[in-house]
Amino acid sequence: MTKTMMGSLRELQKIDQEVRTLRSEIEAFDPRLAEVEEPALRLEAEFGKNRDRLEQMRTDARRLERGAEDKRARAKRLDERLNQVSNLREEAAVRTELDLIRRAIEAEEQEAMTLLEQVRRSEIALEELEEATLAARAEVEPNQEAMLAQRGALKDRLSRLRARRDVLLGTLGDAERRVYESFHGSGRKVVVATLTEDGACGACYGMVPLQLQNEIRRGSTLLRCEACGVVLTAEPEPEEETPVQSESGEPESEGMEPADTEAAQSESPGA
């Protein structure tokens, strides 16, 4: 196995470790966003309920007004009929019905007036609640937008890591790719481990047979720990992490702006 192949496996391992970390950080934003937004959402829900209740009250008031209007029209017809009756019995019946209708009109008018007063008070309360809701939303939005921006940056980083991961997988042979994906799919965090100086597996620290140690040190093929199954290598762990390339194909600089890089180059010997 070439050093390039082993380096790809190690970089894949580091990428997957960072992917797990990023996914956890991204998922952690959901409860935080919900907590930040909760006061505004609570007021918005209350505003929606009160608005619906007010609309129902207006509908009821209109229904009462229509009912009273219908009864007034009926009372008018009875008044006209009263002038046309031909006997006392019919007159008494009409008067009785007319009295009942007038009492019903009075009751509905009183109920409508009471309901309209409730509508007026509810409209005032709803306006105040709307102002409070808008104020709460305005207070929430800066924190919400900042958190969404942070989460978006993490998602962008995650996308770049996954793109780099696909590139690295393409550099592996079939056997190496199968072994790596098998470990990754099982949830194992360590796929590649360094053979220790005394011949132990760097993952489980079980002793590796001497013949297998020699083959690992030759590095001619992919060899795995007989105890835990990780891929073993005699190559020491690189001191610096291989930078993940950006979408433009250039390595991402960490902690140094372009201006700082140019200054460093101009101050270097031979510049």
- Residue type, position 90, single letter: E
**3-171: what CATH class?**
mainly alpha
CA angle 249, 254, 260 (to 5 degrees): 100
The residue behind tokens 């509905």 is 108
Q: 128's torsion region: left (phi>0), alpha (psi -120 to 50) or beta?
A: alpha
Alpha-carbon Rg for the chain, nearest whole angstrom, is 40
- Specify the pLDDT at position 3: 58
Higher pLDDT, residue 224 or 30: 30
Q: Which residue has the higher pLDDT, 180 or 36?
A: 36
Model confidence at 170: pLDDT above 70: yes
Domain coordinates in residue numbering, the chain: 3-171, 174-267
Q: How many residues does the chain have?
A: 271
Q: What is the mean pLDDT of residues 36-56?
A: 94
Residue 241 has pLDDT above 70, yes or no: no
pLDDT of 151-166, one tens digit each?
Answer: 999 999 999 999 999 9
* DSSP strand pairing (223-224 vs 192-194): unpaired
C-beta neighbour count of 180 within 10 angstroms? 22
Higher pLDDT, 3 or 87: 87
Give buried/exposed letters for 17-30 (b at 16+ CB in 10 A, else e): ebbeebeeebeebe
